């Protein structure tokens, strides 16, 4: 069977370097009994995951040709043809299997990186660990700390519930075809925070609104919320979103809740 020819619209950049695939696989720390690979392509990473006895393993792949290729080369693999963004993760494993959650791994399709991460955030109670390759810039943004220029919405939302580590950088030449940018592998592990000490919906709204105009001070950036900002500390209002920690955003959200009619 012919190898699959990469399709640009599906964000296909197949990994050529097996040692990197192996390193990604070995970065998993066994936080769950289920493991889901997003976008296995021709299975370069899959190969190192199938044999991992810690996990019930399944993969979801949008590309029909890749699914057919995998079925021939890895007949034991549980692979679903579908879109990760539209499929219910839980339906891929039996209720007994998924009792301890579903970890996620992949050399992800870069065109949907942010959407994958927002989905992880939404399913945080189900996903104890994520190990994955993203374009370097996204990886840096997710792993950024307050005060850095790359610190943004995903850094705050994800670090509220995950410990995030930037593991290593990957050169573009190890892919076929090479992407235009460098890549990086990061790991997210669920922290012990079950619920934030504030209205979580409002928290998300506050974080998004604050970063929407990240150059402005909060006093101006938060205006679109149409809430009274009076009860928020002056020193906080004079700062910009990128200077605030998760705890600061929680505090702001609580203050706003208090001021709601």
Give contact residues for ligand SAH (rule: CB under 6 A): 10-15, 38-42, 44-45, 60-63, 66, 83-85, 106-107, 109, 112
Determine the Cα–Cα distance for residues 21 and 243; give it in Å rounded to an integer.
36
Least separation in angstroms between residue 185's CB and ligand SAH is 11
Distances (CA, A) of 124 to 16, 47, 160, 236: 31, 27, 10, 28
Least separation in angstroms between residue 225's CB and ligand SAH is 32
**CB-based contacts of 19, cutoff 8 Å, min separation 6:** none
Least separation in angstroms between residue 66's CB and ligand SAH is 5
Name which of 106 and 152 has its Cβ closer to ligand SAH: 106
Least separation in angstroms between residue 99's CB and ligand SAH is 25
Q: Which two tokens stand for residue 246?
A: 């998760």
Q: Which two tokens stand for residue 90?
A: 């839980």
- Give the N- to C-terminal CA distance of the chain in Å, as an integer: 65
Q: Which two tokens stand for residue 86?
A: 């539209």
Closest among 131, 156, 127, 151 to 141, alpha carbons compared: 151
Name which of 187 and 241 has its Cβ closer to ligand SAH: 187
Name which of 112 and 186 has its Cβ closer to ligand SAH: 112
Name which of 58 and 221 has its Cβ closer to ligand SAH: 58
Least separation in angstroms between residue 30's CB and ligand SAH is 21
Residue sitting closest to ligand SAH (CB)? 39
């Amino acid at each position: 069977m012919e190898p699959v020819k990469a399709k640009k619209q599906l964000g296909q950049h197949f990994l050529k370097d097996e040692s990197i695939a192996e390193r990604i696989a070995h970065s998993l720390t066994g936080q769950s009994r289920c493991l889901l690979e997003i976008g296995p392509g021709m299975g370069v990473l899959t190969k190192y995951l199938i044999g991992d006895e810690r996990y019930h393993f399944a993969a979801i792949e949008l590309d029909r040709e890749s699914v057919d290729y995998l079925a021939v080369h890895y007949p034991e693999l549980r692979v679903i043809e579908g879109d990760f963004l539209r499929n219910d993760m839980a339906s891929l494993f039996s209720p007994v299997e998924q009792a301890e959650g579903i970890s996620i791994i992949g050399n992800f399709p870069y065109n949907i990186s942010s959407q994958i991460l927002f989905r992880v955030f939404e399913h945080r109670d189900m996903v104890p660990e994520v190990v994955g390759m993203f374009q370097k810039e996204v990886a840096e943004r997710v792993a950024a700390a307050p005060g850095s220029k790359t610190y943004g919405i995903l850094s705050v939302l994800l670090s509220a519930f995950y410990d995030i580590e930037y593991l290593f950088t990957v050169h573009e030449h190890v892919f076929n075809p090479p992407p235009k940018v460098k890549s990086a592998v990061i790991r997210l592990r669920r922290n012990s925070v079950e619920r934030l000490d504030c209205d979580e919906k409002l928290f998300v709204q506050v974080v998004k609104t604050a970063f929407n105009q990240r150059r402005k001070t909060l006093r101006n950036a938060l205006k679109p919320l149409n809430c009274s900002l009076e009860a928020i500390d002056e020193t906080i209002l004079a700062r910009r979103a990128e200077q605030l920690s998760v705890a600061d955003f929680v505090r702001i959200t609580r203050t706003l809740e208090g001021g709601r009619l």
